[in-house]
Structure 1
Amino acid sequence: MAMRNFAIQSWIIKYLSTNIHMYTVKQMPILKSLKKLRKIFQTDDSKSESGIGVLIVFIAMILVAAVAASVLIHTAGILQQKASSTGTTTIQQVASGVVITQILGYDYANPPEAGGISYLAIFVTINSGGSSVDLSNTTITLSVGGTTAVLVYNTSIFYDIAGTGSANIFSAPVWSELSASHKNPTNFGILVEADPSHSMTNLYPVLETGDVAALIVNVTNTFGTNITQGSAVSGQITPEVGSPALIDFNAPTAFSTKSIEIT
C-alpha cells in the first residue's frame, strides 16, 4: 500500500513539474517576439498571385501605350510630309502658269472688211512669281463658230525674233509652215518675242521670267473658216503645271486694218 501511494505521488509531482515548465516557457519574452515576427513575415499565397496579375496587366498596358504612341508618331510624320507636299503643289499650281498679255489677229482680205481673221498670235508670259513653263507640254483649246479644237505644239513651227526683231510678225516665214499643205490642223507654233535668258529653243521652249512668246494659230487651217466681224471666240491655254489662261473675246465689228488688235 505504501508503494502504491508513493507511485501516485511521484506521478502527480512529475505532471505538475511538466506543466509548470511548459507554462513558464510559453510566457518567455523571446517566444512572444518570435511569434510576432512570424506574423509579420507570414505570406498569403492568394494575395501574392493577385499582385503578380496586376503587375502583368500594368506592364501590358504600358506596352500597348508605347506601341500606340509609336504608330501615332509615325502616322503624324507621314501626314505632315503629305500636307507639306500638298501645300507646295497647291502653291505651285496657283502661282505658276501663263498669262495672256495680248492677242493679235491678221486679215488677208483687201479691203479687210471683206474678209476675216485667219491668223492668231496669242502673246503669253509666266505668272508673277511663278516657276518656268515648258510650252512644248502646253495645249490650246479653242472654240470658233461652234467648233472646238485642241491644239498641240509642233517643234518644226518655231521662229525666234527676240534677237533680230521683225517689221511685221505676220510676214515671218514660220506662218507658211502652219498651213493646209503641211497637214497640221491640230498644231500651233511658237514665235519668240523676248528671251533674255536664251532659254527657248524649238525642242525645249521653256518660258522663264522676262520671256514673252506668241503662240500662233492658223484659224483657217484648223477650222476651215476664219473669224468674222463680231464673232465670239473662247478657249484656254493649259500648261503642264499651273493655272490655265482663259481666251474669251469678241472680234471687232469692223476691220479697218489687216493687223487687228483684239485684246
Structure 2
Amino acid sequence: MIIDTFFTTIKNNKAQVGIGTLIIFISMVLIAAVAASVLLQTSGTLQQKSQATGKEASKEVSSNLMIEDVVGIRSKNSSLDMSASIDMLEIVLTLNTASAPVNLEQVILSITDGSTTNDLVYAGNTRSKAPEFGIDASMSGFGSVAVTNRQLLATGNTTLAASSGNVTLVNSRSYFTVDKIRDEDSSFQQSNPTMTTGDYVIIYASTASLSTVSTGYTTLKDANVSSSLKSTGLNILPRSPLIIVLTPEAGASATVNIIMPSTYGAQEMMQLFP
C-alpha cells in the first residue's frame, strides 16, 4: 500500500509581545535618553569652556602695552651740582591699536640694574603689598596731585598695621606713580587708572642710589626732596645695563633693554629710549 505524504509550511508573521520584550524595549529607550542627555551636557560644557578660552586668548593677544619713551632724571642742588646716577625714570606708555583696556593698578613694573631688581606696583594699589587681607596697602599720602605723589614716592615710607606687627615699606622700592598726558575719554583717574586705546601716560619710578642719598640733593625734577631721598638699592651709572619690564594682568609684557650712555655730562634729563 502506498501512502502519499504532503507537507505544508505555514508562515506566521505575527510576533508575540511579552513582558520581557517590553522591558528590553523600555530599557533601550532609557539608555538612549541617558546617552543623549550626557552628550548634550558634555557639548554644553565644552562650548562654555571653548568660549571662555577664546575670550582669554583674545585678551592675551589684544592687551598690549607699548613703551614709547624712557627719560632718565638726575637729582641736583644746582645746574652744576648733579648726581652721578639716574635717580628717577619717566616711562611714557600707550596701548597698541585695538587693545583692550588696561588697569594700571594690576601692572607690575620691574626695574633691574644688573645686580638689583625692584618690583613696583601702582601707588594706589590697595592689595598687592598688603601683609594681611583687608589692609589698605596704597602709598601713604597718595592723592590726585602728581607732583606731591612724586615727592612722596622719592622721600616717604608707608607703614601698614598688621595683627602680627607693623610693616614699613620704603615707597621708592615698592611703588610707582602715574600722570596722564592724553586721555580723551576721561578713563584715567588716580583712583581708577584705566588706559584705553589712544591714551598716553607717564609712569614715574624712583631709582635713587645710596650714593645720591648720602650726598643729600635737594631737587628731583620738579619736586623738593629736601635732602631726604630714600635709596632704592639701584645704581644706574654710565655704561651700566638697565632693564624695564611692564607686566599687565593679561596680555604681553613690554620690555626695554638699555645700556646707559658713556657719560651723563651736564644733562639733568636724558633720553634713554628709543
Query: Could you tell me the TM-score, scaled by structure 1's length?
Result: 0.69
Following the alignment from structure 2 to structure 1, what is the Cα–Cα distance between the partners of residues 112 and 82?
A: 22
Q: Which residue of 2 aligns with 1:147?
A: 116
Q: Which residue of 2 aligns with 1:28?
A: none
1:91 aligns to 2:63 (yes or no):
no
Following the alignment from structure 1 to structure 2, what is the Cα–Cα distance between the partners of residues 76 and 124?
A: 43
Alignment of 1:38-53 (within 5 A): 48=16, 52-53=19-20
Alpha-carbon deviations, 1:140-193, whole Å to 9, x = none?
A: 122224111111111326556xxxxxxxxxxx5653222234441211111211
C-alpha contact 2:88 2:206 (8 A) present in aligned 1: yes
Q: In structure 1, which of residues 105, 111, 118 is the aligned counterpart of residue 72 of structure 2?
A: 105
Aligned pair in 2 of structure 1 residues 153, 96: CA closer, same or farther (>3 Å)? same
Q: In structure 1, which of residues 130, 136, 139 is the aligned counterpart of residue 105 of structure 2?
A: 136
C-alpha contact 1:157 1:190 (8 A) present in aligned 2: no
Following the alignment from structure 1 to structure 2, what is the Cα–Cα distance between the partners of residues 111 and 72?
A: 78
Residue-pair matches, total: 210
Q: In structure 2, which of residues 139, 164, 171 is the aligned counterpart of residue 184 of structure 1?
A: 171
Alpha-carbon deviations, 1:56-87, whole Å to 9, x = none?
A: 32331232022101110111011111101111
C-alpha contact 2:74 2:83 (8 A) present in aligned 1: no
C-alpha contact 1:157 1:188 (8 A) present in aligned 2: no
Following the alignment from structure 1 to structure 2, what is the Cα–Cα distance between the partners of residues 195 and 62?
A: 64
Alignment of 1:187-226 (within 5 A): 187-220=175-208, 221=230, 223-226=232-235
Larger Rg: 1
1:249 aligns to 2:237 (yes or no):
no
1:175 aligns to 2:142 (yes or no):
no
C-alpha contact 1:158 1:191 (8 A) present in aligned 2: no
Q: Secondary structure at the match of 2:239?
A: coil
User: Any stretches of 5+ residues in structure 1 without a counterpart?
Assistant: 1-38, 161-171
Aligned CA RMSD, in angstroms, stands at 2.9
C-alpha contact 2:123 2:176 (8 A) present in aligned 1: yes
C-alpha contact 2:75 2:82 (8 A) present in aligned 1: no
User: Any stretches of 5+ residues in structure 2 without a counterpart?
Assistant: 1-9, 125-141, 158-169, 209-229
Higher helix content, 1 or 2: 1
Identity %: 29
C-alpha contact 2:117 2:234 (8 A) present in aligned 1: no
Higher strand content, 1 or 2: 2
Q: Which residue of 1 aligns with 2:46?
A: 79
Q: Which residue of 2 aligns with 1:117?
A: 86
Aligned pair in 2 of structure 1 residues 104, 53: CA closer, same or farther (>3 Å)? same
Alignment-mate amino acid for residue 258 of structure 1 = E
Q: Secondary structure at the match of 1:255?
A: coil
1:127 aligns to 2:96 (yes or no):
yes
Higher RCO structure, 1 or 2 (CA under 8 Å, sep 6+): 2
1:259 aligns to 2:247 (yes or no):
no
